[in-house]
Amino acid sequence: MTNEAQRLFDHGEGLFEVNPSKLQCYLDCPRQFRFRYIERRPERRAFPQTALGRTVHRALREFYALETGRRSLEELLRLLRRAWDASGYRSENEAEAAFARAEDMLRRYHDLVDHTGVRPLALESKFSVSYPDEGVLVTGRVDRIDLSEDGYVIVDYKTGRFRQDPRSIHESLPLSLYAMAASSKLGSEVTRIVLYLLADGTALETERDPDRLAGDWKLLVDIVEEIRTGARFPPHTGPLCRWCDYLNLCPEGRAEVG
């Protein structure tokens, strides 16, 4: 194990901690993973994007904590206004534009869902599941878990503008990680995952049966071992390079962007 990889471990239990965001970062680009999680270089994320996402998530969390009869559009927008924090934006116009985008997202979302039928079991809940035999600690936060007639449903909100499609959702290993952790915590198979793409008011759904999750778990363990033992973290160049926090540190990424 390299000294750099050693920093990624929980020294108390000797477990490698992995969460959906960290895993997606490695799958997108191992070099970006190294910069962010091993060398811990500062990120240069734009404040408006992250602040808008936090505010929308907070409003939705409070919305689903209400009784079903109170889940009106007016109430949802009121909760958005209550959660809104305009400080940190570069100008009043920028803050107003961000608020308008957030309001538009929630209007679209409210029209998309029958909120009287939503029975949330968990809202913005953290999880932590250890697998000592494989030396892995799975952590994260799930936006929502619902109880439906067919069992449990994992719900994830996406406020970003990056393209999502049915194939990418079906193949997503980080989404499988949510299903693994939820199944372990609830003591019941959680196979259904719904993503709400709030920027365009659409929803995508995918399934994870036990055989698929077993295969994805083996793949995850292999990836963890690859990170643990690897001294090299090569770049994966492509369209995402344009938005990379570490583009100035990566010659291959700069060449990709042109």
pLDDT tens string 116-156: 999 999 999 999 999 999 999 999 999 999 999 889 999 99
| 8 contacts 15 by C-beta, under 8 angstroms | no
Q: Can you tell me the distance from the alpha carbon of 4 to that of 28, in angstroms, rounded to the nearest whole number?
A: 20
Q: Which residues contact 16 (CB under 8 A, 6 or more apart)?
A: 8, 9, 10, 135, 136, 137, 224, 227, 228
pLDDT at 220: 96
Start-to-end C-alpha separation, the chain: 36
The torsion angles phi and psi of 36, rounded to 5 degrees, stand at: -80, -45
pLDDT at 4: 43
Tens of pLDDT along the chain (258 residues) come to: 344 434 444 444 589 999 999 999 999 999 999 999 999 998 876 567 788 999 999 999 999 999 999 999 999 999 999 999 888 788 899 999 999 999 999 999 999 999 999 999 999 999 999 999 999 999 999 999 999 988 999 999 999 866 678 899 999 999 999 999 999 999 999 999 999 999 999 999 999 999 999 999 999 999 999 998 877 899 999 998 988 989 999 999 999 998
Q: Can you tell me the distance from the alpha carbon of 249 to that of 241, in angstroms, rounded to the nearest whole number?
A: 11
Q: Which two tokens stand for residue 88?
A: 């940190």
Q: Can you tell me the distance from the alpha carbon of 164 to that of 40, in angstroms, rounded to the nearest whole number?
A: 28
State how beta strands 15-18 and 136-148 pair: parallel
The candidate with the shortest Cα–Cα distance to 158, out of 4, 21, 26, 34, is 21
The pTM of the whole model exceeds 0.85? yes
